[in-house]
Chain A
Amino acid sequence: MFQTVLPYILSGISVGGQYALIAIGYTMVYGILRLINFAHGDVFMVAGILMVYITASGVPLYISIPLVLVLTALIGFVIERVAYKPLREAPRMSIMISAIGVSYTLQNLVLYITGGLNQQYPTVPWISESVTIFGATTKVVTLITPVLTLVLVVMLVWLINHTKVGMAMRAVSKDFETSQLMGIRINSVISATFVIGSFLAAVGSVLYFTNYTTVIQTSGAMPGLKAFVAAVFGGIGSIPGAVVGAFIIGICENIIKGLDIILIKAGISSSMLGLTTFSDAFTFALLIVILVVKPTGLFGEKTTDKV
């Protein structure tokens, strides 16, 4: 039984880690701007495309990976400056619509450049290798992802709780105006949030696409949505919440993917029931249940809207 379930749990933890790295971007931006950044999943996809093109131009991986991380962070910065900052005083709906616009712009830009064809993601050595753990065979990336995710999350939480810029982030997330009265440049703090979120999404993209091997302009949509659900599940605005939510969703989703086989091996059913199909539906059903039962999520705080 354990042998049957283990591979699904392992890949669940791995995908969960990748969702977590994306979800942090959603939750941090929401925490500061009260904005659902619909373009975030596409930034994740663009990181994948950048990697494809940079590696294809002959740049060695030890340069192209850091380069992709930096460029993606820069893209996050530029998106905020161009599409969100000018709308700081506008109604919340305007900036949300702008985010949707950015999302489609990125997708169509990539469609134009790639011609809409699947792009083969470069093979990153070592993390693409196979490894056997407790009798289950998987890629090294599956084991690396949760570890790397947790290390990055711990660093991020430390940054937010123990540094001056982190303190400024927490202050700005509560009160723009009073933060300004303290001398905090809120635009810099908001930029920092986008840079961190995009950087982590880029790390997630390297891990994710190493597993799924191809990138196309819509590749960011599903992981982006799942990460968004994870952020809502954990309580949007809360970083630990987003991480826990992402791991839970990743694991549940993958167990459902393997549910047919697990049930047969356990002798509960005798034929394939086709439950695998429900793995995506599960995530979105979960979203509906959370919004109905506990809209603030697992770790979310009750907030009244900012004035």
Chain B
Amino acid sequence: MNMLKVTNLKVSYGGIEALKGISFDVEQGQIVTLIGANGAGKSTTLRAISGLVKPASGSINFMGQDITNLNPQRIVSTGISLVPEGRRVFVNLTVKENLKIGAYLRQDKDEIEETIQDIYRRFPRLKEREWQLAGTLSGGEQQMLAVGRAMMARPKLMMMDEPSLGLAPLVVKDIFSIIRDLKSEGITILLIEQNANAALRCADFGLVLETGRITLTGTGESLLNNEQVKEAYLGAD
């Protein structure tokens, strides 16, 4: 079943077309990855889906509902969470407050605490640092916090923008194992990665974005073996 359906999406920034009409579907329960060079329009795609930028034309449909022109607050409440590029944790809030604020729209006060405990079980480091300001965490911990914060909204679709950027190789491994865990719990993932190799390895489906257009699509595995992709995004070996 198609959970997210993007049709002919165009986004412009001050006269420059960042997305020149892209269409793709995200199937429920899958990991879909968007790969491409800097400036190809990957972040713009996620920002348009989450309502941070208004599309010039085209439509975005999520679980049968047209969300094209909804504001970000409404879109979050439909079940889409974005883990933004550069983590963007609230550095002046404690770790626990960062998690609480992820559940800002939830009305079930009692269950929020349960979700927090669930996230602590998953990321024990966050539990240890519960009362610390998020600004004092390491990059990897902040990324875990950003993922935890997005999970607090109990999303059906989680979009992640460069979750491994700037992290140590060991931490990057952790991040990808978290992504697989989320998938196994039934959360659909739309992932942007510079690390195309790792992304395609864990993805069910991949899309290659070049200067605002989708130029190639296929299963993660087929893209991994594609000569063009190998040359452009995976390095020489």
Interface residues of chain A, those whose CB is within 8 Å of chain B, are 164, 167-168, 170-171, 173-175, 177-178, 180-185
Q: How far is the CA of A181 from the CA of B73 in the complex (A)?
A: 7
Q: Is the beta-carbon distance between A178 and B90 smaller than 8 angstroms?
A: yes
Are B77 and A183 neighbours in the complex by a CB distance under 8 Å?
A: yes
In the complex, residue of chain A having the shortest beta-carbon distance to the beta carbon of B98 = A171
Distance from B117 Cβ to chain A, minimum over Cβ atoms (Å):
19
Q: Quick check: A184 and B104 within 8 Å, CB to CB?
A: yes
Q: Is the CB of B84 within 8 A of A185?
A: no
Are A168 and B101 touching (Cβ within 8 A)? yes
Is there an interface contact between A181 and B77, defined as CB atoms closer than 8 Å?
no
User: Whose C-beta in chain A lies nearest to the C-beta of B74?
Assistant: A183
- When distances are taken between beta carbons in the complex, the residues of chain A under 8 Å from B102 are 182
Of A167, A173, A174, A182, most B-chain CB atoms within 10 Å: A182
Instruction: Please tell me which one of the listed residues B50, B51, B73, B101 contacts residue A167 in the complex, with CB atoms under 8 A apart.
Output: B101
- Across the interface, do B73 and A171 meet the contact criterion of CB distance under 8 Å? no
B63 within 8 Å of A (CB atoms): no
A residues within 8 A CB of B71? 180
Known: A180-B72, A181-B76, A184-B73. A170 touches B92 (CB 8 A): yes
B82 CB contacts on chain A under 8 angstroms: 181
A37 to B73, CA, bound (A): 28
Number of residues from B at the complex interface, CB < 8 A = 24
- At the interface, is chain A mostly helix, strand, loop or mixed? helix
Q: A175-B88, A177-B52, A178-B84 are in contact. Are A170 and B72 (CB under 8 A)?
A: no
B52 touches A181 (CB 8 A): yes
Q: Given A173-B92, A182-B149, A184-B73, 15 more contacts at CB 8 Å?
A: A167-B100, A168-B104, A170-B92, A171-B90, A171-B93, A175-B90, A178-B88, A180-B51, A180-B72, A181-B52, A181-B81, A181-B82, A182-B153, A183-B72, A183-B76
Does B216 sit within 8 A of A, measured CB to CB? no
Tell me the minimal C-beta distance from B9 to chain A in angstroms.
19
Residue of B at shortest CB range from A164? B104
CB distance from B138 to the nearest CB of A (A): 19
The answer to whether A182 touches B52 (Cβ under 8 A) is no
With A167-B101, A168-B104, A171-B101 as contacts: A183 and B153 at CB distance below 8 Å: yes
For the complex of A and B, the 4 pairs showing the least CB-CB separation, nearest first, are A183-B105, A180-B72, A183-B76, A178-B88
Chain B positions 20 through 62: 1 when the CB is less than 8 Å from some CB of chain A, otherwise 0: 0000000000000000000000000000001110000000000
Q: Which residues of B contact A180 (CB under 8 A)?
A: 51-52, 71-73
Give 9 CB contacts A-B under 8 Å: A167-B97, A167-B101, A174-B91, A177-B84, A177-B88, A178-B90, A180-B51, A182-B76, A183-B104
- Cα distance A182–B76 in the bound complex, in angstroms: 7
Q: Determine the chain A residues whose CB is within 8 A of the CB of B84 once the complex forms.
A: 177-178, 181
Which residue of B has the minimal Cβ distance to A177? B52
Q: Are B105 and A174 closer than 8 Å at their CB atoms?
A: no
Q: Which residues of A contact B100 (CB under 8 A)?
A: 167
Q: In the complex, what distance in Å separates the CA atom of A182 from the CA atom of B81?
A: 8
Residues from chain A with Cβ under 8 Å of B93 in the complex: 167, 170-171
List, in ascending order, chain B residues with CB within 8 A of A174's CB.
Answer: 90-92
Contact among A168, A175, A181 with B72 in the assembled complex (CB-CB below 8 Å):
A181
B158 to chain A, nearest CB (A): 12
Please measure, in the bound complex, the distance between the C-alpha atom of A180 and the C-alpha atom of B71, giving whole angstroms: 9
Cβ distance B43 to chain A, nearest Cβ, rounded Å: 12
Alpha-carbon distance between A168 and B73 when the two chains are bound, in angstroms: 13
B219 to chain A, nearest CB (A): 30
A180 to chain B minimum Cβ distance, whole angstroms, is 4
- In the assembly, what is the distance between CA of A171 and CA of B104, in Å? 11
Most buried by A among B52, B90, B100: B90
Over the window 143-181 of chain B, the binary record of Cβ atoms lying under 8 Å from chain A Cβ atoms (1 yes, 0 no) is 000000100010000000000000000000000000000
Residues in B neighbouring A181, C-beta threshold 8 A: 50, 52, 72, 76, 81-82, 84
Tell me, in angstroms, the Cα distance from A180 to B101 when the chains sit together: 11
CB neighbours of B101 from chain A (8 A): 167-168, 171, 182, 184
User: How many angstroms from the CA of A174 to the CA of B84 in the assembled complex?
Assistant: 15
Residues of A within 8 A of B72 (CB): 180-181, 183
